[in-house]
Amino acid sequence: MRNLKLLMSMLCLFFVLSGANAQTQTDTKIAEWERAKAYTKEYLDAMPESGYALKPTPEMRSFAEQMLHLTDANYGFTATATGEKPPYGLGEVEKITDKSKANVTKVVMAGYDYVIDALKKLTPEQLNEKVKFMNRFEMTKDMVFTKDFEHQTHHRGQATVYLRLAGVKPPQEKLF
């Protein structure tokens, strides 16, 4: 009986600590998205208004289109994870006609807020639920956010070239 009580106490402690660890992971994910938002804002601020239409080659997206593409994915990926209807349908953000610095910055920052707000609403248990991503990949909601983070990092990284072509020094790396 004494060993059973000890075992039960240890199991309770394990579950309490597991829950705390899961919440810490969620809090860390939110903090990383907030860092990514701030870093992307530095890119948006660094590019002069005239650079928003810059295309390294004719077939490539402009700087504004690159940032709007990043944002379109933030909405789409997050909507997949939450099951909620996003403010923009797939591809709609990229079709925004006002590609001014002020408007693109506003739209991109709202996209990051959408992701961060969604993460704040999801419990660690919900993040472990599976969803069908792009109608073909089964993964956890947490992995959808991870793939989205990778996507936005990739496109922000591409924007470094745009800044250099515009004669602008890119923001300092912001890993922490």
Specify binding-site residues.
69, 151, 155
Q: Which residues pair with 33 in a beta bridge?
A: none
Give the pair of three-digit tokens for residue 146.
Answer: 């991870």
What's the Cα-to-Cα distance from 26 to each of 2, 10, 172, rounded to whole Å?
36, 24, 26
DSSP assignments along 36-58, one per residue: HHHHHHHHHHHS-GGGGG--SST
* Angle 56-75-33 from CA coordinates, rounded to 5°: 85
Q: Which residues are annotated as a binding site for a divalent metal cation?
A: 69, 151, 155
User: How is residue 131 annotated by DSSP?
Assistant: E
Measured between alpha carbons, how far is 91 from 15 in angstroms, rounded to an integer?
42
Give the pair of three-digit tokens for residue 130.
Answer: 């599976």
User: Which amino acid, 101?
Assistant: K
User: At a CB cut-off of 8 Å and minimum separation 6, what does 56 contact?
Assistant: 161, 162, 165
